[in-house]
Chains A and B, each alone.
Chain A
């Protein structure tokens, strides 16, 4: 079963994505509310998909990518950056650090979020 890690500091969005993803019977979900929690989870688990917010307290999205070094530790993991902005320094840096895809949170309805996850899973499987 595909394993997904959701990294999001905003409770309302964390809750909404959690409801959406756990309602799918074929996904396993872990949730982190900042980059540090995500780093800890990544030492114990391996994920197929990471849904990553950028602006977060303690360790932000870029900090997580720097610390996790996924290219080496988990090359099969697909990282989807879910940000509030369609451009910016953080996004450029995230892509440099190996993020595979970028989506603006306010652009996607729940079914569109699922579609993005499924697309990335099919890329990973290919």
Chain B
């Protein structure tokens, strides 16, 4: 017989088997394994029990096992109840606090098994105790971390709501004085306070434009607050996208002309429609086309194209402008991001337009992508689903 297979050779109940069992109990350090007599007095003590609970065998043998329980459990009669249960059911399993010799507590898994002789008579109990303090600690840590996370999440939500409310209220309150400034500057410029010199007109015009920019900023802030608060609801209907783009290009043609920019628009001969919120989607396209023009030097080119493969509509807006590096592209769709270049100082902006565009395209279940190279140009690509069977 091979050496390693000695165990298999023992007959259950033989003296050798009994010796191996004793060896097993006396070798195991991780479990406290000991016997109780029928009244619950400790009758044996293994090394595992010694290292777990701290008692030497001669200190504990003969003592009642209730010493391992916290006073609260003793008061409620738990030790006795557990023995009765084990006697009735065959065994009882429990998890709870237990006390070491030094008075410290540990979280234990305890199994108490009733021991009966061949005739079925109770001879005592086997008790196996395992220290689960570390697991308990981990669970406790996890629970606490979870609680903390929940609390922080609630705090963040509240903070975010307050922020949205603040922006909304502030935008509203800021508009009134800005509207007042606009009216009075407008009255001056329109001659309601008498003739103005050219210089006076020019200065007033600059003040008027500054105020206009402020109003735009307030509008942007309000829109962003609404989109961030999830308060934007799309009002979608079938829109001819080609016509929409043509309309935007027509509207901005004076600006292109002033900058001597060439604008091209390519689209298939058949009409392309999609289910979009026209006002908001128009703003997205206006914004990107406006950016393309702003960030393209004089005499540059802006090429817009529209395609409709399968169930999607793709719009690409490519310019021969200042372009961007990788770092700028990465933060392009973030709030308040403004890309530094030699044109950005002369180009007023809130850094909110592309964030808004990104959010609106996302609400249309579409994507917006950008390709760019410094000094070569930028291409924005918007892809949205047509969104309806007939679209």
| A16-B172 contact in complex given A106-B178, A106-B215, C-beta closer than 8 Å | no
Contact with A along B165-204 (1 / 0, CB 8 A): 0000000100111111011101100101000000000000
Taken residue by residue from 95 to 122, chain A's Cβ proximity to chain B (1 for < 8 Å, 0 otherwise) reads as 0000000000110011101000000000
Chain B residue nearest to A114 (CB atoms) is B190
Chain B residues closer than 8 Å to A84, beta-carbon distance: 172, 175-176, 179
Which of B187, B218, B222 lies in contact with A16, CB distance below 8 A? B187
| Chain B residues in 8 Å Cβ range of A106 | 175, 178-179, 182, 215, 218-219
Question: Which of A16, A55, A109, A113 meets B180, CB within 8 Å?
Answer: A16
Number of residues on chain B facing chain A (CB within 8 A): 18
Chain B residues within an 8 Å CB radius of A17? 183
A20–B191 alpha-carbon span in the complex (Å): 11
Q: Determine whether the beta carbon of B179 is less than 8 Å from that of A105.
A: yes
In the bound complex, do residue A111 and residue B186 qualify as a contact, i.e. CB atoms below 8 Å apart? yes
CB-defined contacts of A16 to chain B, threshold 8 Å: 180, 183-184, 187
The smallest C-beta distance from A16 to any residue of chain B, in angstroms, reads: 3
Could you tell me if B180 and A12 are in contact, using CB atoms closer than 8 angstroms? Answer: yes
Q: Is the CB of B182 within 8 A of A85?
A: no
Q: Is A23 an interface residue (CB 8 A)?
A: yes
Interchain CB contact under 8 A, B177 and A19 = no
**Cα separation A111 to B186 with both chains bound (whole Å):** 8
B175 touches A105 (CB 8 A): yes
Say whether A13 faces chain B, with CB atoms less than 8 Å apart: yes
Give chain B's interface secondary structure class.
helix
Chain A residue with minimal CB distance to B214?
Answer: A106
Min CB distance A42 to B, Å, is 25
Residues of A within 8 A of B192 (CB): 19-20, 23, 110
B215 partner residues in chain A, CB cutoff 8 A: 106
Q: How many residues of A contact B (CB 8 A)?
A: 17
Which chain A residue lies CB-closest to B208?
A109
Q: Which listed residue, A10, A12, A13, A111, touches B190 by the CB 8 Å rule? A: A111
Selected from B176, B186, B222, the residue in CB contact (under 8 A) with A10 is B176
Residues of A within 8 A of B186 (CB): 109-111
User: In residues 7-35 of chain A, which contact B (Cβ within 8 Å)?
Assistant: 10, 12-13, 16-17, 19-20, 23
Complex: how many Å from CA A110 to CA B184?
A: 8
Task: Please measure, in the bound complex, the distance between the C-alpha atom of A13 and the C-alpha atom of B190, giving whole angstroms.
Answer: 16
Q: Say whether B172 contacts A13, CB under 8 Å.
A: no
- Which of chain A's residues has its CB closest to B172's CB? A84
In the complex, which residue of chain A has the Cβ closest to the Cβ of B176?
Answer: A10
Residue of B186, B215, B222 contacting most chain A CB atoms (<10 Å) = B186
Give chain B nearest CB distance to A12 CB in angstroms: 3
- Cβ–Cβ < 8 Å partners of A113 in chain B: 183
* List of B residues within 8 angstroms of A10 by Cβ: 176, 180
Residues in A neighbouring B222, C-beta threshold 8 A: 85
CB contact between A85 and one of B172, B177, B180 (< 8 Å): that residue? B172
Residue numbers in B under 8 Å from A23 (CB-CB):
192
Give, as a whole number of angstroms, the nearest-CB distance from A6 to chain B.
12
CA distance A113 to B190 in the complex (A): 12
CB distance from B164 to the nearest CB of A (A): 15
Of the listed residues B172, B183, B187, B219, the one surrounded by the most CB atoms of chain A closer than 10 A to its CB is: B183
A19 touches B187 (CB 8 A): yes
Using Cβ atoms and an 8 Å threshold, which residues of chain A touch B218?
106
Chain B residue nearest to A111 (CB atoms) is B190
CB–CB A20/B187 < 8 A: yes
How far in angstroms is the closest Cβ of chain A from B251? 16
- The CA of A20 and the CA of B184, in the complex, are separated in Å by 10
B180 touches A110 (CB 8 A): no
Q: Are A12 and B182 in contact (CB under 8 A)?
A: no
Q: Within the assembled complex, what's the spacing in Å between the Cα atoms of A31 and B381?
A: 52
On whether the beta carbons of A13 and B176 are closer than 8 Å, the reply is: yes
CB–CB B182/A109 < 8 A: yes
B232 to chain A, nearest CB (A): 10
With CB as the reference atom, state the residue of chain A lying closest to B181.
A12
Task: Report whether B176 and A20 are in contact in the complex, using a CB–CB cutoff of 8 Å.
Answer: no
Structural contact, B183 and A110, CB atoms closer than 8 A: yes
Q: A105-B175, A106-B179, A106-B218 are in contact. List 7 more A-B contacts (CB 8 A).
A: A10-B180, A12-B184, A13-B179, A17-B183, A84-B172, A106-B215, A111-B190
- Which residues from chain B sit less than 8 Å from chain A, CB to CB? 172, 175-180, 182-184, 186-187, 190, 192, 215, 218-219, 222
Listed from nearest, the 3 A-B pairs whose CB atoms lie closest are A12-B180, A16-B183, A110-B186
21 contacts between A and B (CB under 8 A): A10-B180, A12-B177, A12-B180, A13-B179, A13-B180, A13-B183, A16-B183, A16-B184, A16-B187, A17-B183, A20-B183, A20-B192, A84-B179, A85-B172, A105-B175, A105-B176, A106-B182, A106-B218, A106-B219, A109-B182, A109-B190
